[in-house]
Structures are given as C-alpha cells and as structure tokens.
Amino acid sequence: MQKIGLKIINTNYVQYKNISQDLQRFIIEGDYSISSIVMRLKNEEMIVLDVSNEEHMPELEIILEEFDDNDVAYQLYEERDDTWEEIEVDDLDLDKNPEWLIFIVGVAFVGYLLFSFVEIFAIYDWYSIKYDIPKFFSAIAGVVTAFIPVVGSVVAYWSATELWHWDSLNTIILYFWYYLPVLFFIIYLIGMVFKLLFVERWYRFWHPEFH
C-alpha cells in the first residue's frame, strides 16, 4: 500500500467540504467521515492518503490538478525512514499501470506476432489452392492478410478447417485465443472511462460503508 501525506493550507469552509469529499475516497483507515476530514483540514493536520494502484481508486493527480485550478494551497509529504518529509508533485512516483494489465498487453502482443506467422501457411494454401492464385502472389497476400487483426484469423480458420480438415473447436482456440487478453483490455478501458465520468458513484458503489 503506497501512502502520502497531504496538508491543506489557508482555504474557506466551502472548499473544506468539497476537498473533504474529494479526499474521502483515498482514506481507507481511521475516521473517514466528512466532518472529521473537515476538522482535520481546518486544523491544518496532515491527512494520510492511500494512493496505491487499486482498481476502484481514482488517480490522485486529478484531485491535485483541481486544487491548482481552484488556487487551493497544499503541501505533500512522503514517509521516509519513519518520518514524513515534504515533497513536490513532481516527486510523486505513482504506478498508474497495474502489473496484470502490462502482462495482458504483453501476452496479446506476443501472441499476435507469433500466431500471425503461423497463420501465413494456412492463408497461403487458401489463396493458392482455393482460388488457384500463383504461389508468389499467394505468399504476399498470405503475409499481408495474416497481420490484419481478426481477418487473418478468420481466413486461417477457413483454410485449416476446409482444406486441412482440422477440428473446428481446436482451430478456433488456436487462431483466436490471443484475442481474449485484448477483450479484457478493452473492458478495462471502458471501466476507466466510466470511472472518469462517474468517479464518485463508482467509488461509493464498491465501498458500501459510504452508502
């Protein structure tokens, strides 16, 4: 769990309340009620925020940018050797990319390159045998088609099942499995867009203690 400290300096009550609502989603330990956060802000106490890269936690930079736009003065702190030291925004080292996301993208990319080469042979036979296209042009068309997402897999599937008489299910698994990580990635992006548009509702949906 990655934590930073934040202290708000010189602001008004309306801003205190709005700021407390923004910060509440980053406080998962201790008293995270709005009234408690407002009181700590008014007393210029440092508030410890969890900024670890969790799926349901919005990015801290968005909040800090809003502070800058609204001329809210603040100071950030980072715990080093059991003491809190002042830091600047540029000193923040926040991991925005989950390791599982990097892994999924890597698997999808490697799978795409590897099986695009595998598909070339099936696609070559599809053009040269099915349509009696000269071998040279079939080879060129096979390479181009193989590296077109989805299209290459579909043509390779047709060739393998119709010309090579492969089992349909096994062929689908062979030529389409690496699209699953891409699908997960797309779902993740949709979720990120949803969070940006409805960040407050999203957070409270996943944290029933705020209902």
Apex CA 105: angle with CA 188 and CA 168, to 5°? 95
Q: Note the pLDDT of residue 53.
A: 52
Query: What are the per-10-residue average pLDDT scores of the chain (211 residues)?
Result: 80 76 79 85 87 58 83 87 86 64 83 92 96 95 95 96 96 91 83 65 51 43
- Per-residue model confidence (pLDDT) at position 207: 53
State residue 210's pLDDT score: 47
Q: How many other CB atoms sit within 10 Å of the CB of residue 130? A: 14
Alpha-carbon gap, residue 25 to 19, rounded angstroms: 11
How far apart (Å, rounded) are the C-alpha atoms in residues 208 and 206?
Answer: 6
